[in-house]
């Protein structure tokens, strides 16, 4: 039987999700915001089953931590898998049009 991972969003990832929601409410509509946020939450929830099936986010991986990503529409959901604790930790959510250097800078500090 395959194990089920506990999926956790960091405070930063939760803030990013809230920023995305607010942006879409202001610049699109409630329906769009609802669809996008729920779609991302569904994608995040699915990480509980096969988190290692997604590609690595090579620009920020290091010897200690492997980061992976899933793409949902125009958003990149970045996470890491902690095998010994059977957890998936979502660390960031970014629009794919954002400068990739922002992600690298955030994880270099």
What's this model's pTM, rounded to 2 decimal places? 0.93
Q: Are 90 and 44 in contact (CB under 8 A)?
A: yes
Show the beta-strand stretches assigned E in 1-109.
6-9, 67-72, 75-82, 87-95
Task: Give the architecture-level CATH label for domain 6-108.
Answer: 2-Layer Sandwich (3.30)
Each domain of the chain, given as residue ranges in start order, spans 6-108
Q: For 45-89, what is each residue's pLDDT tens digit?
A: 999 999 999 999 999 998 899 999 999 999 999 999 999 999 999
* DSSP H helical ranges for 46-86: none
What token pair was written down for 18? 């809230």
At 1 the pLDDT is 66
Going 105 to 12 to 75 to 88, the CA torsion angle's sign is positive
Collapse the DSSP code of 56 into the 3-class scheme (helix H, G, I; strand E, B; otherwise coil) and give the result: strand
Q: For 7-36, what is each residue's pLDDT tens digit?
A: 999 999 999 999 999 999 999 999 999 999
Q: For 78-105, what is each residue's pLDDT tens digit?
A: 999 999 999 999 999 999 998 888 878 8
At 43 the pLDDT is 97
């Amino acid at each position: 039987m395959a194990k089920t991972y506990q999926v956790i969003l960091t405070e930063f990832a939760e803030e990013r999700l809230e920023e995305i929601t607010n942006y879409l409410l202001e610049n699109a509509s409630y329906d769009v915001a609802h669809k996008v946020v729920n779609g991302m939450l569904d994608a995040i929830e699915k990480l509980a089953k096969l988190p290692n099936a997604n590609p690595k986010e090579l620009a920020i991986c290091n010897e200690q931590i492997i980061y992976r990503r899933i793409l949902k529409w125009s958003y990149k959901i970045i996470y890491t898998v902690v095998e010994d604790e059977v957890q998936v930790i979502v660390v960031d959510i970014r629009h794919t049009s954002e400068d990739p250097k922002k992600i690298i800078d955030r994880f270099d500090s």
